[in-house]
Amino acid sequence: MKKIVILASGNGSNAESIIRYFKPKKKIKISYIISNKTDAYVLDRAKKHNIPHLVIKNNRFNENKTFDFFKEIKPDLIVLAGFLIKIPINNFSNKIVNIHPSLLPLHGGKGMYGMKVHESVKKYNDCVSGITIHYVNENYDEGEIIFQKKIKINKSDTVKIISEKVKIIEHKFYPKVIESLLN
């Protein structure tokens, strides 16, 4: 059985879509959900679905104890789903994937996440946006691109509407790309 570990810092809507997608699957399971915030709603989602979960504080991601934990649980893939801190990739090269709410390299880099990305898309009057699923490397949003999906942006679209359009394709495609990486 293939094991996924999800790292998330907030609400966890992408984590929820991944959980729902893989729940009926027999060959892939979510083995842990890890957050860096004790009040992250993603932890409630983990409880609701009976998925083991824990909090690792930001400064502890560099500790050997944390690396030992990951080596012990042996994830086949580490999935970032709104995880807002940079983590050392060390022995996990090409085992960590992330989703970004724009077509990288546009609107990416340090500090570009969530609504900030959609505000940037609106500010620059982009006529398309979308998602990028990529491997994580040592730089923000610069890992090898695995998948991109475009959506049309209308001039009348608000930042909220852009966000909603992007969220729909995130939930649709992230689980499928994860599955393809594990098969």
Per-residue pLDDT at 127: 98
CB-count exposure of residue 98 (10 Å: 0-12, 13-18, 19+)? buried
8: left (phi over 0), alpha (psi -120 to 50) or beta: beta
> Which entry of 49, 53, 100, 134 is annotated as an active-site residue?
100
**CA angle (5, 37, 180) in 5-degree steps:** 20
Peptide bond into 105 cis (omega under 30): yes
Whole-angstrom CA distances from 146 to 8, 16, 76, 96 are 20, 21, 17, 12
pLDDT digit string, tens, across residues 111-143: 999 999 999 999 999 999 999 999 999 899 999
Question: Is 100 known to be catalytic?
Answer: yes
CB of 103 closer than 8 Å to CB of 128: yes
Per-residue pLDDT at 70: 85
CA dist., res. 161 & res. 53, Å (int): 32
Provide the 10 A C-beta neighbour count for residue 19. Answer: 23
Classify domain 2-182 at the CATH class level: alpha beta
**CA angle (147, 179, 20) in 5-degree steps:** 110
CA dist., res. 75 & res. 94, Å (int): 12
In the chain, where are the structural domains located? 2-182
Beta bridge partners of 147: 133
Listed residue (26, 22, 24) closest to 14, CA to CA: 22
Per-residue pLDDT at 61: 74
Segments of the chain with pLDDT less than 50: none
Per-residue pLDDT at 68: 83
Specify the pTM: 0.95
Per-residue pLDDT at 32: 97
**For all residues of the chain together, what is the average pLDDT?**
94
| Structure tokens belonging to residue 60 | 């502890």
| Structure tokens belonging to residue 91 | 């022995």
